[in-house]
Chains A and B, each alone.
Chain A
């Protein structure tokens, strides 16, 4: 889901960068620095997640994990994802330098939106929490796909066909991410419940 260099035009890249900087600033302000290690661990998980390929049917995609980052970090998902994307660009040549801003927006904004939409469900008992986490994981990937289509439309491509293709191809990922998010949150609630309670 990383957009490569040279596809988007300058206005889109600059807007994406500006919005990413704003989001990261909010994330840094709201970050609980006593728990900076948690942010680091989740950033590392995001960094590594893209190496896990999901080959279902004709499409070959990879885990994104922005749903889990949204629930656990809230706005701090922005700096976590930005750092992970920088490292992915440097080490794996995924995406590009000019596209860092827009790629951060693609992945972090859905995380924050889904945090606000579904994060409250996690504090409730078991089945509500599982459904909430599944929806969070599912919708984060869905929103990322929609934003990706939107970004490409601004670079002169047909939104509906591109967004349709992206959403269809990522549908297995949405299901898998939803399940992964649900299991992880349920596990964390049992083992380490304070990780989920934060005032973000």
Chain B
């Protein structure tokens, strides 16, 4: 029974999505059909192929880790039996400066705060926007953008990979019918050497 509780979903395809928040890289893995792989193996490689770190996905198919280095990274997910997905994280997804802006404070803000001229968003940090250095301002903006863009990236990713559209099904069946027709035509061409059926 324990074995059954840990059985992996045996779908056709597994997808991997990774994003950066501050100095943590989050990954989310999903099977086609929506189930999440548990204990899937995640490996992170640097550009020259060296393995930087390894880990396992949790019950929700997530695995997060501190950014090992701010270069292009290749994240590979392998699940039993025989499914593999790759996500290439580009180095410009990491923040320009060394430290991440505090995540919790950023996620507490909403866009109403930013747009409202009467509120001082930087007041959350105990800073006045006029006293901020260029670096601090860059951090602040990048942190906010990260938060907003993650959802958008997830949506784009799921649009690309998770939908099997009717037109794909119809297209495939169309090819099969076409092949059938072609074979039937080729086999039934009248030939001078053969007897007519």
Contacts and interface: CB of A to CB of B under 8 A. Distances in A.
Nearest to A2: B12
A4 B83 contact: yes
Q: Determine chain A's interface SS by DSSP, over half rule.
A: helix
Interface stretch (A40-48, A110-118, A129-137, A188-196): A40-48
Interface residues of A, number: 49
Interface of B: 3-14, 31-35, 78, 80-86, 161, 164, 168-169, 171-173, 175-177, 179-180, 183-184, 187
A25 interface: no
Nearest to A173: B10
B4 A87 contact: no
Given A4-B14, A51-B164, A91-B172, A60 B35 contact: yes
Given A51-B164, A60-B9, A60-B33, A87 B176 contact: yes
Interface of A: 1-8, 33, 36-37, 39-40, 43-44, 47-48, 50-51, 53, 55, 57-62, 83-84, 87-88, 90-95, 148-149, 151-152, 157, 162, 164-166, 168-170
Contact of A44 (B5, B86, B176): B176
B172 to A, nearest CB: 4
Contact of A92 (B13, B31, B176): B13
B40 to A, nearest CB: 13
Contacts of B171: 91
A14 B85 CA distance: 22
A126 to B, nearest CB: 32
A132 B161 CA distance: 39
B176 A168 contact: no
A87 B172 contact: yes
Contact of B12 (A7, A36, A39, A94): A94
Contact of A7 (B13, B78, B179): B78
A123 B34 CA distance: 41
Closest 5 CB pairs of A and B: A40-B180, A3-B82, A169-B7, A60-B9, A94-B12
A156 to B, nearest CB: 12
Contacts of B175: 87
Nearest to B172: A87
Contacts of A3: 81-83
